[in-house]
Amino acid sequence: MLQKFDSRNSDIKVWIKDRLYPRQEAKISVFDSAVQGGDAVWEGLRVYPEGIVCLDEHLNRLLASAKTLAFTDIPTKAEVMEAIDKTLKANGMSDDTHIRLTLTRGEKITSGMDPRLNQSGSCLIVLAEWKPLVYDNNSGIKVISSSQRRNGPQFLDSKIHHNNLLNNILAKIQANVAGKDAGLMLDERGFVAELNGSNLFALINGVVYTPFAHACLPGITRKTVMEICRNNGVACAEADLSLSELYNADGVFATGTMGELTPVVEIDGRVIAKDHPDLSHVLGLFKASIRNFCQPLDY
């Protein structure tokens, strides 16, 4: 799956630090920490007319990631919401929109790793684009397991949503070379962690399983799916899952803000059914209730 350029995004306005810029002028300094060391945190948000899906949780995760990385001058939630609001209004966007929200450690006085070189505060970027769901959620996606492991807290805690997901990018490159849509990453013990850019679920004998969040991003769509299951009497649990269990599952699906819920129809050449009633039930429940999770920009 390769996203295409959407001409509606040719002249969008992008928020950087304290104001909006036309797309062509929306640039950050070569001294910015994101350029120097991938030293930034981010969120992906989806906009519906009813509001932004799980806005508060996304903002909490952004600010928590920034705190873990000891950013100083972290904007308040109200300040971030105001920047998002101004960006959406400037672009006339209220649906079919995805926002890439990035907070970098900011500009350095000279190149170098040391955060003490960052003396002009953090830099918030609000990049809102016209972007419908990125996967074809009817036909599903094909994936391969990657030799690249997803890291756990022993190395770099996967709970930090940072801009340094190079191991995930390497897994995606392996999938590209194999002609598949995504790379399936294992944790350091060999259990399933997640796809390179989304979380994974497997339906086995009427139970919806997802890997523990030890070595994957604790995705907000993942949490929403678990909540929807529990609210609708569908058994749902976190578990250590092996590749063999996924190959033989009644259904497998990926979750993320970019694509919402996407059936996985092939793993390492093994066909996974996408028509099991339990899978259709969960996908249907999500579709019917996701807009109830939208929150307005209230600052």
Ligand X SMILES: Cc1ncc(COP(=O)(O)O)c(C=O)c1O
Contact footprint for ligand X (CB under 6 A): 44, 165, 168, 194, 197-199, 217, 219-222, 255-257
Contact residues for 292 (Cβ-Cβ < 8 A; gap 6+): none
> Closest approach of Cβ 12 to ligand X, in Å?
20
Q: What does the alpha-carbon distance between residue 217 and residue 152 come to, in Å, rounded to a whole number?
A: 10
Q: Token pair of 139, please?
A: 């036909």
Q: How far is the CB of 216 from ligand X (least distance, A)?
A: 6
CA neighbor of 131 nearest in space, from 258, 290, 276: 258
Length of the chain: 299
Residue closer to ligand X, measured from CB, 107 or 263: 263
Q: Min. distance of Cβ 226 from ligand X in angstroms?
A: 11
The least CB distance from residue 237 to ligand X, in Å, is 18
Between 197 and 263, whose beta carbon lies closer to ligand X?
A: 197
Per DSSP, the residues of 209-221 read EEE-TTSS---HH
106 versus 197: smaller Cβ distance to ligand X = 197
Please state the closest distance from residue 155 (CB atom) to ligand X, in A: 15
Q: CB of residue 169 vs ligand X: minimum separation in angstroms? A: 10
Tell me if 150 sits within 8 A of 158, measured CB to CB.
Answer: yes
Minimal distance, residue 227 CB to ligand X, in Å = 12
Buried-exposed string 81-93: b where 16+ CB fall within 10 A, e elsewhere: bebbbbbbebbeb
Closest to ligand X by CB, 74 vs 200, is: 200
Burial (CB count <10 Å: 0-12, 13-18, 19+), residue 32: buried
Q: Which C-beta is closer to ligand X: that of 102 or that of 199?
A: 199
Nearer to ligand X, 220 or 267 (CB): 220
CA distances from 158 to 49, 187, 213, 293 (A): 31, 11, 8, 24
Q: For residue 22, what are the β-bridge partners? A: 13
Comparing CB distances to ligand X, the nearer of 33 and 221 is 221
Closest by Cα among 256, 263, 267, 243 to 199: 256
Within a 10 A sphere around the Cβ of 76, how many other Cβ atoms? 11
